Amino acid sequence: MHIIWDTMVEAGKITVTDYVRVTSTECAKIFNVYPQKGAILEGSDADIIILNPKRNFAMDAHTHHSRSNTNVYEGRKGKGLVEVTISRGRVVWEDGNLNVVPGSGRYIRTPPFGYLFDGIEKSDAIYRASLRAPVVRNKAAA
C-alpha cells in the first residue's frame, strides 16, 4: 500500500479516492467479497488503515512479517506510511508492530465467479468467431 500511495497518489497520477477504490473496494469485488469487505458500511467487515502521507518509508525484508528473507522492493524509499491498521475493532498494526496472536484470523469464504466473469461467455464467442474470420494479407513487394 505504501508503494501504490507513493507511485500513484504522491506522484499525482490518481486521487486519494481512487487510491481507496483501487486498494480496497475493487480488490474486494475481484475476490467477490464486496460489500462484506472493501467498504465501510453497516454490516461490513472491512479493515481500516490510517496512512500518514507525510511519513517516509524504506522497504526492507527485515521489517516485514514474512518467512522470506528477501523483498523485491528492498531499499526502495518513498512517501506515505501506514501507521495503524484496525481489524474487527482491534488495532492489529501500530508504529511498525504487529499485534496479533496465531489463530486470531478468520477465514473469509470467497464465492466463485465475481464481476470479472460477467459477460465472459460473450467475449469467448467473439474470440471464437475471430478464429474463423478470413485472414487478408497484403501482397509483399517483390
pLDDT, tens digit, 9 for 90 and up, residues 84-126 = 999 988 999 998 888 998 888 888 888 877 766 676 666 667 7
The pLDDT > 90 percentage for the chain reads: 44
Per-residue pLDDT at 136: 72
Environment class of residue 63 by beta-carbon count within 10 Å: exposed (0-12), middle (13-18) or buried (19+)? exposed
* Domain chopping of the chain, boundaries: 2-132
Rounded Cα distance, 102 and 91, in Å: 15
* Greater model confidence, 82 or 69: 82
Amino acid at 4: I
Phi, psi of 55 (to 5 degrees): -80, 145
What is the rounded distance in angstroms from the CA atom of residue 80 to the CA atom of residue 108?
A: 29
- Read off the amino acid at residue 100: V
Tell me: domain 2-132, CATH 2.30.40, correct?
yes
In the block, which residue shows the cell 472491512?
46
